[in-house]
Structure 1
Amino acid sequence: MFKTAVALSDAISDATDAALVVASLGNDHDAFAEIVRRYQGLLCSIAYAAVGDIKHSEDIAQEAFVEAWKKLDTLRDPERLKAWLCGILRFKVSRHRRKQASQPEQGAEALSERNDRACQASMVEQGAIEQQQHALLWQTLENMPHNYREPLVLFYREHRSVEQLADDLELSQDAVKQRLSRGRKLLQQAMINFVEDTLSKSGPGAAFTIAVMTVVSTISPPVKAAALSAGAAKTGSLFKWTSIVAVIGSFSGLISAYFGLRAGLAQSRTERERRNVIRFTVLFLLFAGLYVGGMFLLRFIAHSSSASAGLFITASQVFVGVFIVSYMMLLRAMLVGMPRLRAQERLTNPAAFCDHPTGSEREYKSRLRVLGIPLVHFRLGMPEANDGPVVAWIAGGDIAYGVLFAWGAVAVAPISVGIVAVGVASVGVIGIGILATGTVAIGVIGFGASAIAYKAFASLSAIGWQSAISGGFSAAKEAAIGQFAIAQQVNNEQAAAIANLAALNQYYVWALAAIAVLVIVPAAWHSNKVRQRMGRRQAS
């Protein structure tokens, strides 16, 4: 598994520009992230040579990459990707200059806004270069003509060779050599070492890529495919399987709910029971849908609001808390209500239960026991009023306790899968464990739509003690990465290192695949066994 993941990473990094464009048009974010990594240094350096400010140059470059994602389908010659990106960047630079020229009082902002902006800039640039050094560097460079300044910045900041500069700037090598020579002479000799050292430290890294891809993840891919050759299209298809695995992992809960609905209908003996099964299934899906929809709405509001990130991060955790409480209440109502309804139906409609399986026919229990505990025990019938929890080495039922593995509405085991799952490794709508995954994951390492953990990784909101990474709201003590983030280190290289971002990128596809298997396979097996034993006539 490890070798396969590494091989895929190598295939992406070795792919041609055309192959990456095709894969990106197929909504492959990994391929587009490689485009960003490949050309972020070039675009940031060109922008810096034009505007003379590290933060503004990276903002402009990020806007250029986001614009490229939106308009990727308009690129007719993918082999010209680099020139096309540079064209978008230069247009953004031109618009930035016009905007500055039309706002002569841009420095007259409110004091509180200025302090907030300074604080954010400090966190982003922390550990790279001090503000006074930026000013001194630009004082040295700004008096140079642009045609000399641009190749000089690229040469020292990106460590480009003359041949690479000629290719990047679409100039002859002789022209590049002449401009570099003239540019060096224009620099004050006393500042040369300082400029070289400062430029080498200011280049964009993993945090820049993270920032771009965080925004791109919220934007739909281009509608049309670019006009590519069959060979390029074939190469690009190598990357699409990762997106397929991600979709399966993300929707595994919905697939499991479908199998659960089939099993519940097969177990039902009366119309009231069937309606009850459908009602609880719809309510569980509705609550999950409202939670996810509410989080996306909150993120949309946060994007269009000037309020502080802390306010929206707090609001996101209120959403998480309400979701947990509502799901727990709904689960309790189901576990108490379904046996009660079954008891009532036995009294009021006894004819429906004449051929109802009992005893060993409504559950599977292996004869083999280990330390007095059945090796396998799965309950296949509707819970009855006198049913206790299922206990086995491998257990499955409404409430299941497993020595090794448990699956059910409430599952407790070293490896557990359920609506509420508790264990060393847990997969659930609410997963609690050392390694917890689910819609809400609570544990030492949490991975889900929302995560609350020592190390938290999530798509919507992450709250971590050491680190938190999410595509929306992130808060942690030490390091946070996200669109709205609070921590000592935020959206920078130090945050990426503390959170082990490289390891996450390498293994998240395999984690999604494992979640899908653990959730879907037991649900499908249980559903088929129920339909075989309980009869198919009630499932229609």
Structure 2
Amino acid sequence: MGLLKKRVNYKESADTNLVLASIGGDRDAFGEIVGRYQSLLCSLAYSAVGDLKHSEDIAQETFVEAWRKLDTLSDPAKLKAWLCGILRFKISRYRRKETRHAPQPTDELHEQVAEHSRVDDVVIQEQEQALLWQALQQLPETYREPLVLFYREQQSVEHVAAELELSEDAVKQRLSRGRKALQKAMITFVQDTLAKSKPGAPFTMAVLLAISTISAPKAKAALFSAGVAHTGNAIKWGSLLTVMASFSGVIGSFFSVRASLAQSRTERERRATLKIVALYFLVAAVFVAGMFLLKYVALASTAYQSLYALGSQLMVFGFIAAYLALLTHMLISQPRLRAQERQRQPEAFLAEYDQVNSKRREYKSRLSLFGIPIIHVKLGLPELHEKPAFGWIAGGDRAYGLVFAWGGLAVAPISVGIVSLGVITVGALGFGVLAAGTVAVGVIGFGASAIAYKAYGSLSALGWESAWSGSFAIAKDAAIGPIPFATLTNSEPAADIVQLTALSQNHLWVLGAMSILVITPAVWHSNMVRKRIAEQHNNAE
């Protein structure tokens, strides 16, 4: 009883969030509502009218009507009951319409009706024979022959025994077993037929196409309580923080560009900086666009979802390979280019800040612990053979911290960077026990895409034990998402393994912390570099 109550509360909470998002104009959220309840509504309609096509038409009309009137739903948690109410009204109207249009035989039409009735009888008989054979052909011949003879030859066991040259006991035994097998075959036939008629992604797409030209319902403030309004705000904040956190590595790189451009002294350095950053953004844009495309194609073509899921993971690994290659290229090419430019245009590097051994090119705290500075941050573009930043807290193109590190390549227990390695890691690529970023790889992973023992990703999640995603969710044991692959999918047991309740309670804090950890050091570093260069110019003047 407790599990049932928990399942109902979980589903009502999800319904509330989807209704609020739909009222805000999110058609994808309404698509999830359709996917969640289309089977129920189509089944109820079919049970009432007995026609698959008409039942699906009625269900589609119900969803379109629901989209139009969604703002009249006073309690979003009661979405299912509200949808069923609209459906019953549609069924009732359909029946009244059928009754009104039913032909009434008159004397002059009696012959014509009788003729149609005879034609209908022939059609019905043909359908009955087809259904009979579909059931009979599933029986072994040993049972089928006695059954056919028994029911077509005056139901005489003696006659069947004589025709088949069997004992009467053998015939009775085969008839008994044959009836049971026939009953089972009929049940299986009905189950298979109904299962094949289950609405799928094409039904959902048809509804979304139908509402594409209909304006989104407008929320009426009086309809929602303070608690529901609070949930709506949480959705908005959650959406904003998800974008910021998932792409915080890319956002942080913007501020890195500002710092790098400020440190560039020649046109070649500026072009090289813009090129490498443009490649970072291009790879990210292609990755995100490709993942969204795969999601919508997979939802529209359920037969090939496994192939699209494989494609999504190939894109994830492609993104990882591309960013590792870009970072390696950046760490090698920038120092070489700076060395070349020093030889080609020495006049561009006369300022104190641009000297190789200048103390102004780095910040190192006076305080140290065990001979290691508390803070060590590199502020200039990397030089050939220059050592990485190293301290308890370190920052630079390569940063190694005993507690915290930030940079292009960051290695520390807590690390933030384009590529970060450690225990708690955040970045474009995060590798750690608790990893977060555009792509997160670890024991627990949060990000746009995640590969982890427990994976949580907005675009895809590949988990060993469990996965949660707004798109592709792939795991061994449990998966929650629009396109799930696991032993348990989109169920209460799956939600327990995924720890969905804990996720829903804490994900905003996690997303907020990710954003702050990535963006704040990037902003600080950019401002520090620009400030020091501005001071340099002021002193020169």
The TM-score with structure 1 as length reference comes to 0.65
Moved more, 241-250 or 465-474: 241-250
Distance 1:90 1:352, change over 3 A: farther
2:345 partner letter? N
User: What RMSD, in angstroms, separates the aligned Cα atoms of the two structures?
Assistant: 4.8
Decide whether the 8 Å contact of 1:456 with 1:468 is kept in 2: yes
Q: CA deviation at 1:310?
A: 2.8
Matching residue of 1:142: none
* Aligned equivalent of 2:237, options 244, 252, 263: 244
- Which of these residues, 302, 317, 320, is aligned with residue 316 of structure 2? 320
Aligned AA (2:72):
D
**Contact 1:309–1:486 (8 Å) recurs in 2:** no
Q: Which residue matches 1:226?
A: 218
What's the CA shift for 1:475?
Answer: 2.0
Q: Does 1:289 align with 2:288?
A: no
Partner of 1:159: none
Give the aligned residue type for 2:220. Answer: L
Is the aligned partner of 1:447 residue 2:443? no
1:401 is displaced (CA, Å) by 0.7
Displacement of 1:491 in angstroms is 2.2
- CA distance in 1 between counterparts of 2:321 and 2:92 reads 52
Cα pair 1:397 1:407 within 8 Å, conserved: yes
Question: How far off its partner does 1:443 sit?
Answer: 0.6
SS at match of 1:535: helix
The CA deviation at 1:386 is 2.5
- The verdict on how the C-alpha distance between 1:89 and 1:277 changes in structure 2, with shifts beyond 3 A counting, is farther
Once the two structures are superposed, residues 59-108 of structure 1 have per-residue CA deviations (whole angstroms, 9 ceiling, x without a partner) of x99x979986996464453438768534544478799999xxxxx99999
Q: Give the conservation status (yes or no) of the 8 Å contact 1:250–1:512.
A: no
**In 2, Cα distance between equivalents of 1:286 and 1:338:** 20
CA distance in 2, matches of 1:462, 1:498: 15
Distance 1:425 1:309, change over 3 A: same
Indicate the residue corresponding to 1:153 in structure 2.
none
Offset, 1:221: 13
Q: Answer yes or no: is the 8 Å Cα contact 1:242–1:509 preserved in 2.
A: no
Distance 2:422 2:331 in 1: 20
Distance 1:46 1:473, change over 3 A: closer
- Aligned pair 1:392/2:384, yes or no? no
Question: How far is 1:507 from its partner?
Answer: 1.3
Opposite residue 240 of structure 1, the aligned amino acid is N
Structure with larger Rg: 2
Give 1:138-537 correspondences, 5 Å limit.
Answer: 224=216, 226=218, 228-229=220-221, 238=230, 239-251=232-244, 252-357=248-353, 358=355, 359-535=358-534
Q: State the Cα deviation string for residues 509-537 of structure 1 (Å, max 9, x = none).
A: 11111111001110110010010012399
Check 1:270–1:306 CA distance in 2 against 1; reply closer, same or farther (3 A cut): same
- Give the fraction of aligned pairs with identical amino acids, expressed as a percent: 46
Deviation at 1:367, TM superposition (A): 0.8
* Alpha-carbon distance between aligned partners in 2 of 1:534 and 1:425, rounded to the nearest angstrom: 33
Q: 1:220–1:380: structure 2 CA closer, same or farther, 3 Å change rule? A: farther
Deviation at residue 323 of structure 1 after TM alignment: 1.2
Q: Which has the higher contact order (CA 8 A, sep 6+)?
A: 1
Q: Deviations over 1:461-515 (max 9, x none)?
A: 2111111121222222211222332222222222111111111121111111111
Gap regions ≥5 residues in structure 2: 1-8, 98-126, 133-183, 192-203
Offset from partner CA, 1:148-178 (integer Å, 9 cap, x none): xxxxxxxxxxxxxxxxxxxxxxxxxxxxxxx
The residue aligned with 2:175 is none
Letter in 1 for 2:361: R
Secondary structure in structure 2 of the residue aligned to 1:311: helix
* Contact 1:400-1:407 at 8 Å conserved across structures: yes
2:83 to 72, 79, 85: 85
Gaps of 5+ in 1: 1-9, 99-103, 109-131, 140-211
User: How many angstroms does 1:226 deviate by?
Assistant: 1.9
Supply the distance in 1 between the matched residues of 2:402 and 2:317 (Cα, whole angstroms). 30
Hey, what's the Cα distance between the residues in 2 that align with 1:69 and 1:361? Answer: 65
CA deviations 1:259-296 (Å, max 9, x no partner) are 11111111111111111111111110100111111112
Q: Which amino acid in the other structure matches residue 74 of structure 2?
A: E
User: In structure 2, what is the Cα distance between the partners aligned to 1:307 and 1:445?
Assistant: 31
Q: Which residue identity does 2:23 align to in structure 1? A: L
8 Å contact kept, 1:249–1:515: no
Deviation at 1:247, TM superposition (A): 1.7
Where does 1:89-168 land on structure 2 (aligned, <5 Å)?
89-90=87-88
Distance between the aligned counterparts of 2:516 and 2:291, measured in 1?
Answer: 27
Alignment coverage as a number of residue pairs: 416
TM-score, length of structure 2 as denominator length: 0.65
- Between the aligned partners of 1:360 and 1:310, the Cα distance in structure 2 is 56
